């Protein structure tokens, strides 16, 4: 009997369980009685000019260096303005090599004779700006330089050590070779180096000085992806044979001139070294316009966090100097500045627009007329509005506009600044609704 009772209880519970599962899905939404919703709400839009929501705009530069970029630049009078030289330093030459001797056995040869060499440069054919075959020159640098701080005028620019180039533009150099690159024929160009040239870099100190790559043809800008040195070597154990030994680049960077001339009123983001634009938020507590908004909800309208459904910083693009015109999309980021007093070295908070930033196509910077770039700041502005004297919070009020990847490129994003008719705006969308009652 006990078994039967248990079975009966189990059956009953199964009934209960299956019934519950069968009808557990709740679907209460009804569109029939929509007109019976006893709550009314109005959505309005307000646009604050820069002076009404922010102050203290500053552009800081010096974040990152060209050596961190994946591509280097070679340019000559590009857009009538830009000159850029790529600098590359080498590791020391190999001191031994495994070579097959005259009997066919592989042996290590430590007596190598370098009879010549080739420097192979590979370019990005899509992003390089070039009309046809281009002549390039390679020269050996004669001055020590620091890849992390080198500029057009300074070979070394670090703390306590500031050494100018003897000749501006990373000069002088000892000419080694010239070559012509035809983009239609391939993405690489080869510089033939004779034994004298190869001998120049045989010493580790001179190898570190490396080479400078220049454009001879005017009006070009080439994006260089890689450079390598290949040594033509005659081994002592098999002098009738020539072998190629590769020497890797120790570092690669570029220097350029002139630095971009940008207005103090502009908002600049990116470039190399990268720039950041910093400003402080000073939101009003209420809106007293525009007339369309006041007509709908009455003014002044108190800005409350729960009413805010969207907040966006709107920037208008400004065409940078043609030589610095973006050729690929940029990613803009906005981060809170955690300790503004320590700028330009203040730590930054987490991104307010997402880890990958807001994508801005290069075409946005092509014309003079500003195009809108929308940076969503809803959650941040909501925190600012919640920060009242009665309930103070420690939400940072200083924001930095920067490139999501820093540095990203020679080119940069440029926007109209506060004094312009195309000045930034803060677009607020608010919904004002009545209370939800119980009756």
Partner 1 sequence: MNRVFAVLLLVFVSAPQGLAGQSLLGSRGLGLPIEPLDARSRALGSVGVGLLGPALLPTDPASAAGMAFPALEITLQPQWTEGTMGEETDHTQGTRFPVMGFSYPVYSLGGAVTLTMGGFMDQRWELRRESTTELGGTTVPLVEELRSEGGVTTVRLGWAQRLGEDLAIGVGFGSQAGSVSRTFTRTLIDTEPGLEVIPYQVRSEWQYSGLSATLGARWDPVDFLRLAGTATWSSSLKADPSEGTEGDGAEFELPMELRLGASGLLTPNLIMNLGLAYAGWSHSAGGLREEDLAGPVWSFGGGLEWTGTELRSRRIPLRVGARKSDLPFRFAGEDPIETLLAGGIGINLTRPQDLLAGGVDMAVERGRREAGSLVETFWRGTLTIRIASW
Q: How far is the CB of 21 from partner 1 (least distance, A)?
A: 10
Q: How far is the CB of 259 from partner 1 (least distance, A)?
A: 32
Asked whether position 261 contacts partner 1 by CB under 8 A, the answer is no
Dist CA 211 CA 88 (whole Å): 5
Of the candidates 417, 333, 406, the residue with the CA atom closest to the CA atom of residue 376: 333
Asked whether position 31 contacts partner 1 by CB under 8 A, the answer is yes
Provide the sign of the torsion angle of the four alpha carbons 142, 143, 148, 154, taken in this order: negative
Quick note: the x/- pattern for partner 1 over 49-68, rule CB under 8 A, is: --------------------
Please list every residue from 357 through 376 that binds partner 1, using CB under 8 A: 358, 374, 376
Asked whether position 38 contacts partner 1 by CB under 8 A, the answer is yes
Question: 3-state DSSP call for residue 81?
Answer: coil
Q: How far is the CB of 339 from partner 1 (least distance, A)?
A: 28
Using alpha carbons only, give the angle 70, 76, 77 rounded to the nearest 5 degrees: 125
Q: Which of 27, 240, 264, 394 binds partner 1 (CB under 8 A)?
A: 27
Q: Which of 26, 131, 261, 390 binds partner 1 (CB under 8 A)?
A: 26
Q: How far is the CB of 15 from partner 1 (least distance, A)?
A: 6
Q: Which of 89, 312, 403, 404 binds partner 1 (CB under 8 A)?
A: 312
Sole window of 23-31, 91-99, 171-179, 202-210 interacting with partner 1 (rule: CB under 8 A): 23-31
Q: How far is the CB of 314 from partner 1 (least distance, A)?
A: 10
Asked whether position 291 contacts partner 1 by CB under 8 A, the answer is no
β-bridge mates for residue 316, sequence order: 372
Query: In 174-193, which positions are buried (b, 16+ CB within 10 angstroms) versus exposed (e)?
Result: eebbebebebeeeeebebeb
Dist CA 231 CA 346 (whole Å): 47
Residue spans of alpha helices (H) in 221-319: 291-297
Look up residue 80 and give its two tokens: 């009538």
Dist CA 358 CA 351 (whole Å): 11
Asked whether position 391 contacts partner 1 by CB under 8 A, the answer is no
Dist CA 302 CA 288 (whole Å): 9
| Distance from chain centroid for Cα 402 | 8
Asked whether position 433 contacts partner 1 by CB under 8 A, the answer is yes
Q: How far is the CB of 157 from partner 1 (least distance, A)?
A: 40
In the complex, the residues that contact partner 1 under the rule CB under 8 A are: 1, 4-6, 8-9, 11-13, 15-16, 19-20, 22-39, 41-43, 45, 306-307, 309-310, 312, 358, 374, 376, 378, 429, 431, 433, 435-439
């Amino acid at each position: 009997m006990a078994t039967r009772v248990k079975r009966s209880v189990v059956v009953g519970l199964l009934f209960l369980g299956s019934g519950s599962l069968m009808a557990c899905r709740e679907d209460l939404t009804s569109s029939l009685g929509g007109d019976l919703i006893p709550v009314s709400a109005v959505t309005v839009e307000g646009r604050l000019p820069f002076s009404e929501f922010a102050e203290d705009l500053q552009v800081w530069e010096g974040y990152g260096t060209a050596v961190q970029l994946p591509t280097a630049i070679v340019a000559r009078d590009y857009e009538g303005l830009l000159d850029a030289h790529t600098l590359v330093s080498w590791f020391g030459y190999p001191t031994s090599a495994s070579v097959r001797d005259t009997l066919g056995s592989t042996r290590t040869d430590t007596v190598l004779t370098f009879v010549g060499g080739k420097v192979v440069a590979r370019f990005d054919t899509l992003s390089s700006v070039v009309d046809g075959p281009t002549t390039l020159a390679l020269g050996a640098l004669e001055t020590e330089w620091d890849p992390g701080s080198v500029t057009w005028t300074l070979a070394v620019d670090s703390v306590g050590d500031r050494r100018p180039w003897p000749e501006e533009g990373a000069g002088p150099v000892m000419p080694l070779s010239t070559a012509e690159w035809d983009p239609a024929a391939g993405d690489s160009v080869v510089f033939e180096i004779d034994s004298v040239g190869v001998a120049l870099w045989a010493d580790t100190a001179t190898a570190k000085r490396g080479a400078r790559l220049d454009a001879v043809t005017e009006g070009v800008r080439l994006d260089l992806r890689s450079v390598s040195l290949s040594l033509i070597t005659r081994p002592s154990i098999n002098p009738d044979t020539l072998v190629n030994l590769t020497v890797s680049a120790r570092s690669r960077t570029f220097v350029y001139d002139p630095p971009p001339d940008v207005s103090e009123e502009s908002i600049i983001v990116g470039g190399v070294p990268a720039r950041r634009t910093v400003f402080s938020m000073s939101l009003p507590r209420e809106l007293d316009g525009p007339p369309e908004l006041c007509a709908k909800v009455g003014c002044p309208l108190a800005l409350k966090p729960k009413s805010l459904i969207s907040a966006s910083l709107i920037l208008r693009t400004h065409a940078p100097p043609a030589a610095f015109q973006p050729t690929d999309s940029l990613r803009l980021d906005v981060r809170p500045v955690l300790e503004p007093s320590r700028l330009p070295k203040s730590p930054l908070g987490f991104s307010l627009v997402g880890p990958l930033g807001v994508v801005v196509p290069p075409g946005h910077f092509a014309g003079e007329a500003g195009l809108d770039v929308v940076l969503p700041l809803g959650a941040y502005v909501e925190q600012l509005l919640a920060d009242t004297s009665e309930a103070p919070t420690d939400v940072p009020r200083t924001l930095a506009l920067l490139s999501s990847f820093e540095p990203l490129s020679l080119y940069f994003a440029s926007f109209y600044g506060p004094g312009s008719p195309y000045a930034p705006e803060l677009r607020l969308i608010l919904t004002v609704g009545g209370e939800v009652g119980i009756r």
